[in-house]
Amino acid sequence: MIAYLQGIFTGTRDQAVILDVHGVGYLVEVSARLLSQLPASGETLSLFIETYVREDQFRLFGFDNDLERQWFKLLMGVQGVGAKVALAILGILSPDELGQSIAAQDKAMIGRAPGVGPKVAQRIVQELKDKGPEGSFVITDQAPSASRELEDALSALTNLGYPQATAFPVLQRLRAADPSSGVQDLIKGALREMSQ
């Protein structure tokens, strides 16, 4: 199993990079976002690798960091999401943006990726809402009590009819502005801001 490769970037082929590691050229499939950030040919490139071996194929997928690689694995575990779709999602959303979209249940954001229809986007946000890699969801990055307060405030606002995709960023801003604010303060502040 290959976990990490560092070598000389020698070029691209379709949606993949060619990485020369001590004279061996590895063809590594990557996201569109990573393709747009490649170094010049002849420079060093380091990639975290997810390896897939099947009867008829051996494929390597490369990522900027291990968090992105973990998201790829999680996305591949969702029914209807293959490697192409998972890379397409990671091509338009960073790991943090993906985590925030799932935490906010924002299927429209995930649905922007090529090849992701409304049903697949809905399945992704539902199946992965509690399964993100550690450190990926902004709502769970904080102390347990702070995370619980954000979740409670978000739950109250969605019960009042506000979409999660609208309420979640407002709550994040309020929490960042005043980390000591409690659930009631968060709810009142969000209601004030969203009713304007």
Among 44, 46, 40, 67, which residue's Cα sits nearest to residue 4?
46
Contact of 41 with 77, CB cutoff 8 Å: no
In the chain the domains, ranked by start, together with CATH numbers, are 4-63 (2.40.50.140), 66-128 (1.10.150.20), 142-194 (1.10.8.10)
pTM for the structure as a whole: 0.68
pLDDT one digit per residue (tens) for the chain, 196 residues: 788 999 999 999 989 999 999 999 999 999 999 999 999 999 999 999 999 988 888 999 999 998 899 999 999 999 989 999 999 999 999 888 898 888 888 889 999 999 899 999 999 998 997 776 654 444 444 444 456 777 788 888 878 888 776 787 788 888 888 888 888 999 999 999 888 7
137, 170, 162, 102 alpha-carbon torsion, rounded to 10°? -20
Q: Which amino acid is at 68?
A: E
Rounded to an integer, what distance in angstroms lies between the CA atom of residue 86 and that of residue 145? Answer: 33
